[in-house]
Structure 1
Amino acid sequence: MIKSELVQKIAEANPHLYQRDVENIVNAILDQIVDALAQGDRVELRGFGAFSVKQREARTGRNPRTGKQVDVSSKVVPYFKTGKEMRERLNGAA
């Protein structure tokens, strides 16, 4: 599912809302999550999961095309850990 499909499903489930309003709400939620992660904060949605960032250390990689070694700098990457309720639903325990 892509974002536009999510917006469409939410709009269909809530006929009292305009699709453009639903799109604005979804974008606002996602923007807030990204902003919090950019500040190094953790975003927890109970039952769904938690978004956080992890630091990846610098390392030596390899260019797959040429085989030459390449220095890869350290970077911050997003991380998502599923919540207990989601894991149970996905595994059929709920």
Structure 2
Amino acid sequence: MNKGGFVTAMSAHGSITKKDAEYFLTIFADTLRDSLQQDARIALPGIGVFTVEERAARTGRNPGNGREIRIPAKKVVKFKTAKEIANVVA
């Protein structure tokens, strides 16, 4: 499902206009991004938990030529799904 389909589903499920649904989705995405930039842990009951973790530097291998390369350390966003969602998908 893409953004348009999700907005349509939100508007139908919540009995709101598509314009309002898109506005709420944009606010949610902006707030999530801003919070994760500050390394916040975001727990959304019934949805899951977003965290920022540090990935250590490591040695990898270039698949094209097989040579070793150095992969620098970086921060990554992790998401752990809530049981309610995981059980529906399983």
- TM superposition outliers: structure 1 runs of 4+ over 6 Å: none
CA–CA distance in 1 between the matches of 2:14 and 2:78?
31
Matched, 1:13 2:13: yes
Shift of 1:79: 0.4
Match of 1:36 in 2: 35
* % identical equivalent positions: 34
Q: Which amino acid aligns with 2:6?
A: L
Match of 2:2 in 1: 2
Shift of 1:10: 1.2
Relative to structure 1, the CA distance from residue 40 to residue 3 in structure 2 (aligned partners, 3 Å threshold; closer, same or farther) is same
Report SS of the residue matched to 2:80.
strand
CA–CA distance in 2 between the matches of 1:8 and 1:89?
21
* Structure 2: stretches of 5+ with no match in the other structure: none
Shift of 1:13: 2.9
Shift of 1:63: 1.0
The alignment's TM-score, normalised by the length of structure 2, stands at 0.87
CA–CA distance in 1 between the matches of 2:78 and 2:87?
20
The alignment's TM-score, normalised by the length of structure 1, stands at 0.84
Alignment root-mean-square deviation, CA: 1.5
Report SS of the residue matched to 1:47.
coil
* Structure 1: stretches of 5+ with no match in the other structure: none
CA–CA distance in 1 between the matches of 2:83 and 2:52?
20
Match of 2:84 in 1: 85
Shift of 1:12: 2.5
